[in-house]
Structure formats: structure tokens, C-alpha cells
Amino acid sequence: MGHKWLPWYFLLASFLGAFLVNAQERVTFLYPSAAGSWAIPMIAKEAGYFADEGLAVDLVRVGGSTRIVAALIGGSGQLIHAGEPAVVPAVLQGSDVVLIAAISTVNRHHLIARPEIKDVKELKGKTVGITSFGSTSDYILRTILEKHGLDSSKDVSIVQTGGQPEGLAAMAGGKIYAQRMSFPLHLKAIQLGMRELVDLPTEENTGTVITTRSYLAQRRSTVIKFMRAFIRGMHRYRTDKEFAKRVIAKFAQLKDEEILEATWREYAGDLQRVPRPTLKGIQQVIDSGLGGKKFDLKAERLVDLSVVDELERNGFIDSVYR
């Protein structure tokens, strides 16, 4: 190629690149934090799986599941990660929010406290944090307090911190005395001198993918494409530890190898081959009550399994694991 054609060549290449980007369908995905339970979309994006499906996915952090569900309903995103406790009141209020997938049906919750707190009962009269009212952290905190004989509405003062990283900062600064955390934040908290009071395993959906029934009906092909990339991301997380750790390190701004290794190990073994949510786990959340309220609601109203069922039935999931 002659030198006189080089400027035109680069101009054409730039034009084609911009055209391909614009040709991709844009999707905004909202998530609570860069915890291991929310890492799969990051894995899929960094691996190029969304691009393979013709999607340009923007990952946007919004602290607290309640805020994320509200943002979904308000149209700020099309798909989200959020805890299922935030979905229950939204559905009861008439929203068409729906769970379509989950990376796992088991979870571990860690109640982390300031070092001077040695027992859950010592939180009586203290200020404790949650990400937002109605979120998973709210539900788990109240559950733990009640198991240890404390009334969450009388014995403690509950404040919203906005997210786990913000909760850790508030705890370190002495503004709160405890907050529920998950990998890798709870390990970072312990490194900073905080104390783990409770390690609570539960049967519940982890890494839930949530959208609205209206979006699913109108853009089903987009949701299918998203979930194809998501499932490939789950497989990559499980089978390529070093890649998964690099992605978590990037998004969580972590450099500690021990924490990264523990985070990967915490979730890799529990990832489902078929990311189908458990109805039992959802029903347990509903029946336990949220914020002291009991609801007459069946888990089936919160779930649409058709996307996962389709990807299992047409052989896509099997093809990923071959």
C-alpha cells in the first residue's frame, strides 16, 4: 500500500469501528457492588461475550438493592443484579419486576462489627448499618438480630449506608457498629481489624438477574442474548480462576492475593450449571417477613423461568460446558 493511501486507510478503519460499536444494541445493567456474587457480568464483559452477542453492555453501580430495583422500574436500566428481598415489596405494589436467573442457590452472610463488639447482643443500643431499607442486608441483619434475642425495631438504630464499601468506611470511622457483608468486603474488614460476629449460610438465590416482564416481552431476544453471554461468564468464572481474579481485582480495586483467592473459591464451587432460581429460597424470604411485615405472596409471582428453560432446552448450556 502506497504511503498516500495510509490516511484514507486509517480513516476508513476508524469509521468502520465506530459503525460496529453503534450497531451493537446498548443495554444498561445495574449492580450493587463489585462483590464476588455480582461478578459474572464483569467477567462476561471483560471476556467479550456481550460483544459476541451484539450487545454493548454498560455496567453501572448503584448502592443498595432497593435503589437498584427502583432504578429498574424508573427505566434507568434494563437488567439488574439485586437481592430478592427488594423485589417482594415492588411486586406487591404492582410492579412487573421479575427474577429470571441466579448463579447459585446458596449464600453466606457475614455480620461484621467493630473490634470492641464481641457478641451480637452487645449491639443493643448501638447504630448498625444496612445498604438500604428493604435490601438483602436489611433482611439478613434483622434475621440475625432476632435470632440473638434483639428487636430490630427497638434495640438498635438502623441507618442506610448506601453500599458495603460505604458501610465499611462508616464502621472504620465509628459511625456504625456493624453491617452485613459478603466476599470480598468482609475479608477486607477483618484485615482492618473488624470482627466477624456471624457467618450465616442460607438457602437463597445468589447473583439474581432481574428485569421487568414488560421488557422481557418486548425485547426477549435481547434478554436471551444477555443470558447467553452471562452463562458463558459463569463458565469462565468457574474454569479460569486467574482470569476471574483479575477481573474482580479490577472492578473491586483489590490487590490482595489472599482475598482474591478466597473470593473466587467462595463462589466457584456453588455456581449452578443451569442458573435457575430456587422458589423455596424466595418463599422463605417472603414468609420470614421484611421489616416486620408479613406478606401473602407466592414465590411464583416473582419468577419467570422461561429464558433459562429455553437455553437449557435448545442445548446452549450443554454446548458451553462441552
- The CATH number of residue 168's host domain is 3.40.190.10
Contact 49, 233 (CB under 8 A): yes
Last residue of a domain, one of 203, 226, 261: 203
Question: At CA 274, angle to CA 246 and CA 319, rounded to 5?
Answer: 80
Question: At CA 238, angle to CA 233 and CA 244, rounded to 5?
Answer: 65
Contact 233, 43 (CB under 8 A): yes
Last residue of a domain, one of 203, 229, 250: 203
Same-domain status, 237 and 99 = yes
Closest-CA residue to 130 (of 176, 195, 193) = 176
Q: What is the distance between the alpha carbons of residues 198 and 181, in angstroms, rounded to a whole number?
A: 10
203 band by pLDDT with thresholds 50, 70 and 90: confident
The residue among 199 and 47 whose pLDDT is bigger is 47
pTM for the full predicted model: 0.78
Is residue 132 in some structural domain? yes
Same-domain status, 243 and 253 = yes
Is residue 11 in some structural domain? no
Displacement of CA 263 from its chain's centroid (Å): 14
Same-domain status, 81 and 223 = yes
Question: At CA 143, angle to CA 29 and CA 114, rounded to 5?
Answer: 85
Is residue 6 in some structural domain? no
Q: Does residue 226 surpass a pLDDT of 90?
A: yes
Instruction: Write out the residue range of the structural domain in which residue 89 sits.
Output: 24-106+206-320
pLDDT in the model for residue 108: 80
Contact 6, 36 (CB under 8 A): no
Closest-CA residue to 258 (of 164, 172, 201, 188) = 188
Is residue 9 in some structural domain? no
Domains in the chain, number? 2
Tell me which DSSP letter residue 273 carries.
Answer: S
Same-domain status, 137 and 195 = yes
Last residue of a domain, one of 158, 184, 203: 203
